[in-house]
Amino acid sequence: MTKMAPNNQPAFVLVRPQLGENIGKAARAMLNFGLTDLRIVAPRDGWPNPDAGPSAAGADEIIEKAQVFQTTAEALQDCRNVYATTVRKRGLSKPVLDPKKASQEIRRNEFKSAILFGPERSGLETQDISLARTILTIPINPTFGSINLAQAVVLCAYELSIGASLIQPTVSDLEAPATQKDLEGLITHLSTMLKKKGYFMPPDRATATQKTLRNILTKPAWSENEIRTLRGVLSTLERKDRP
């Protein structure tokens, strides 16, 4: 097993984790399989957390280098493909992959991906999931489906490591998806235009409508060039008609 190059290693993003112990165990599990890009969003008990170090059991470098963010969107700015781990059906129109298939896809891609893991008690919120292009579901006992956070992390890390040195480069002329930052720029641009036209009325439907739009625009995996073209399209539509 060769280590994946740091810049195409997927980021493991713990969203609002509750227990420092689980953060430490997640770090240990990642390093067990050669992964080092840990990101933490709004940890319940703040950061640093004194419980994380001891349960990392030697994976201190992962804990020390972990990046902390206030929101999930901020944690994903440089990522070009995002997977949300969840078991529940949410009525979201997104492809669903198991850890093996998702890992194969991540390894095949040459660009930065991220995997989102939700808080211990409740899992990811719909809002977090809507940032992702793909759902990652661990196939589990349907009558006992609550999996520990660090356990979910280790299963994904393990699958990512399998055959890491055996994969063959697949040549494709498909451009990498744009970063989440560029994607957010497009979503914001369109939303701002629509708001002026009263699209998000009545207000009690606004959140659902925003979510639908976000899903529609996240799905395509548009490249940076394509996003740039679409920003041009939007700017054009903001103009006055030509005579």
Tell me how far, at minimum, the Cβ of 211 lies from its own copies, in Å. Answer: 11
Assign 45 to helix, strand or coil: coil
Tell me how far, at minimum, the Cβ of 209 lies from its own copies, in Å. Answer: 9
Tell me how far, at minimum, the Cβ of 60 lies from its own copies, in Å. Answer: 11
Nearer residue to its own copies within complex by CB, 75 or 150: 150
Burial pattern 115-144, b for ≥16 Cβ within 10 A else e, equals bbbbbbeebbbeebbbbbbbbbbbeeeeee
Nearer residue to its own copies within complex by CB, 70 or 172: 172
CB 144 within 8 A of CB 85: no
Tell me how far, at minimum, the Cβ of 174 lies from its own copies, in Å. Answer: 5
Beta-sheet pairing, 11-15 with 38-41 = parallel
Tell me how far, at minimum, the Cβ of 120 lies from its own copies, in Å. Answer: 9
Burial class (CB in 10 A: 0-12, 13-18, 19+), 213: middle
Assign 160 to helix, strand or coil: helix
Nearer residue to its own copies within complex by CB, 44 or 167: 167
Closest to 45 measured CA to CA, from 83, 75, 14, 73: 14
Nearer residue to its own copies within complex by CB, 69 or 158: 158
Neighbour order of strands in the sheet with 38-41: 67-69, 38-41, 11-15, 113-117, 81-85, 134-136, 96-97
Nearer residue to its own copies within complex by CB, 35 or 75: 35
Beta-carbon count within 10 A of 79 CB: 26
Residue 82 makes CB contacts below 8 A (sequence gap 6+) with 76, 113, 114, 115, 116, 131, 132, 133, 134, 180
CA dihedral sign of residues 67, 70, 75, 77:
negative
Nearer residue to its own copies within complex by CB, 70 or 170: 170
Tell me how far, at minimum, the Cβ of 84 lies from its own copies, in Å. Answer: 13
Tell me how far, at minimum, the Cβ of 224 lies from its own copies, in Å. Answer: 11
Nearer residue to its own copies within complex by CB, 125 or 226: 226
